[in-house]
A and B are shown apart, each in its own frame.
Chain A
Amino acid sequence: AQKITQTQPGMFVQEKEAVTLDCTYDTSDQSYGLFWYKQPSSGEMIFLIYQGSYDEQNATEGRYSLNFQKARKSANLVISASQLGDSAMYFCAMREGTNMNTGFQKLVFGTGTRLLVSP
């Protein structure tokens, strides 16, 4: 069974500061993928960043970076220079490795972290 754990129900950060959202995972697969999604109050899940289990370098996408520590099974999201528009729910998710080549994916999600950015 796979499991995603996000231990921070809520986080506060001041505008322009960096913030780290924690995510740990549990899997027996050797090949898997890790995702972070942002969900604003509008409801849509917005893809932010992806890390493959065999990727040697940490993924980066603009102000988002993923601190991937495979041995510790953690995939923390780092948001640099926070903006007011970053206030939202953030979900860590994992894709089962067995579906890498089947054209569809099963994502297992964590319970999310609510980020509030203050002026």
Chain B
Amino acid sequence: ETGVTQTPRHLVMGMTNKKSLKCEQHLGHNAMYWYKQSAKKPLELMFVYSLEERVENNSVPSRFSPECPNSSHLFLHLHTLQPEDSALYLCASSHGTGRATEAFFGQGTRLTVV
């Protein structure tokens, strides 16, 4: 059982829809991340929240809007997406300082924009 849970697992939405992806972690971590995984491309880091403050935004279009209401929850709000935004969206979390602060990932949300 994963410590990072993402819902929904699958989402199909039209280009005019508004939807939200949810991520929840029960590992006591203080950093959370959104990654995008497109076919045949490396994972791309989209956003990083550390201690509920956004510390990284990798030139992501404004149609993606993250929200981190507390250290256990992370949302990705979607609106007016494009077909090229279809991908697997992975949430991850990690904890603290030190050497081997590996990130733990959720199972992802498979998003299809039609």
Which A residues form the contact surface with B (CB < 8 A)?
4, 33, 35, 37, 42-47, 50, 52, 91, 93, 100-112
Contact = CB atoms under 8 A, between A and B. Distances in A.
Interface string B1-35: 01000000100000000000000000000110100
Contacts of A44: 2, 105-108
Contact of A105 (B31, B42, B43, B108): B31
Interface residues of B, number: 34
B26 to A, nearest CB: 15
B51 to A, nearest CB: 7
A105 B101 contact: yes
Contacts, number: 71
Interface of B: 2, 9, 30-31, 33, 40-43, 45, 48, 50-51, 55-56, 88, 90, 92, 94-108, 110
Nearest to B95: A103
A35 B30 CA distance: 20
